[in-house]
């Protein structure tokens, strides 16, 4: 074989390898595009903003009914009065976000990060908050019947005047959470929940499920707290006022 022939073969091989690499990159890029949401689209029902960055913007009153918002970033974003009914926000971030007065019936908030976020007066009946990070979140006045908080982190979360019934707190961390003042409209599940200094003053928990004496011994109730049959108030009730640090 001549030197020129060998050289030509090397050039062709190099071009073939380059073409293959380009093809792989194009296919990979197309696959990633297919996986990513349409981040430039205007808020509308059923849109796909999965993995999109929407931090620190004003989306109050937006209609995102049935939208795919999985993994999206809404840190510091105002979603007040938004329609999030049946929307999928699994693994989204909503740190210090405003979701107050939103309609979020049947929405999926599983595994979200939402420290210090405001869900006050939200209508979130049947919503899923399983394994969500909700430390110091505000749920005052929220409607949470049949909502699922299983394994959620709810340290110091506030449920004052929230409507609870069929709500699931099984295996959740309710350390220092404020449930006092919540409106209990039916059985609430507490099986395996960590209730260190959980405020339950004045609550009627007589039909609550999963409660055990060791949970009650850690929690903070008073003479007005009603417990399920077989459980008794510990001698250290009532607890001193909570430190709001």
Given this model, what pLDDT does residue 242 score?
82
pLDDT of residue 48: 98
> Taking a C-beta distance cutoff of 8 angstroms, is the pair 130, 112 a contact?
no
Rounded-to-integer distance, Cα 193 and Cα 175, Å: 9
- pTM for the model: 0.85
pLDDT of residue 36: 59
For residue 23, what pLDDT is reported?
42
Q: What is the pLDDT of residue 37?
A: 83
pLDDT at site 243: 74
User: Of how many residues is the chain composed?
Assistant: 245
Burial (CB < 10 A; 0-12, 13-18, 19+), residue 115, is middle
Alpha carbon 136 to chain centroid, angstroms: 13
Which ranges of the chain have pLDDT less than 70?
Answer: 1-36, 244-245
């Amino acid at each position: 074989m001549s030197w020129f022939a060998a050289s030509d073969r090397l050039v062709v091989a190099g071009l073939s390898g380059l073409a293959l690499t380009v093809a792989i990159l194009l296919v990979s890029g197309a696959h990633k595009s297919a996986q990513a949401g349409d981040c430039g689209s205007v808020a509308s029902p059923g849109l796909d903003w999965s993995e999109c960055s929407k931090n620190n913007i004003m989306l109050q009153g937006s209609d995102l009914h049935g939208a795919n918002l999985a993994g999206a970033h809404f840190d510091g974003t105002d979603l007040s009065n938004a329609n999030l009914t049946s929307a999928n926000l699994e693994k989204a971030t909503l740190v210090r976000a405003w979701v107050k007065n939103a309609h979020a019936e049947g929405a999926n908030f599983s595994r979200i990060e939402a420290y210090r976020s405001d869900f006050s007066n939200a209508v979130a009946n049947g919503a899923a908050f399983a394994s969500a990070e909700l430390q110091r979140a505000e749920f005052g006045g929220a409607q949470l019947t049949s909502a699922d908080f299983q394994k959620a982190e709810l340290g110091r979360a506030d449920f004052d005047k929230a409507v609870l019934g069929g709500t699931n707190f099984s295996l959740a961390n309710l350390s220092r959470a404020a449930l006092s003042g919540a409106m209990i409209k039916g059985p609430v599940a507490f099986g395996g929940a960590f209730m260190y200094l959980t405020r339950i003053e004045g609550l009627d928990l007589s039909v609550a499920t999963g409660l055990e004496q060791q949970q009650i011994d850690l929690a903070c109730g008073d003479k007005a707290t009603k417990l399920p049959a077989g459980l008794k108030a510990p001698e250290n009730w009532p607890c001193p006022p909570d430190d709001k640090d």
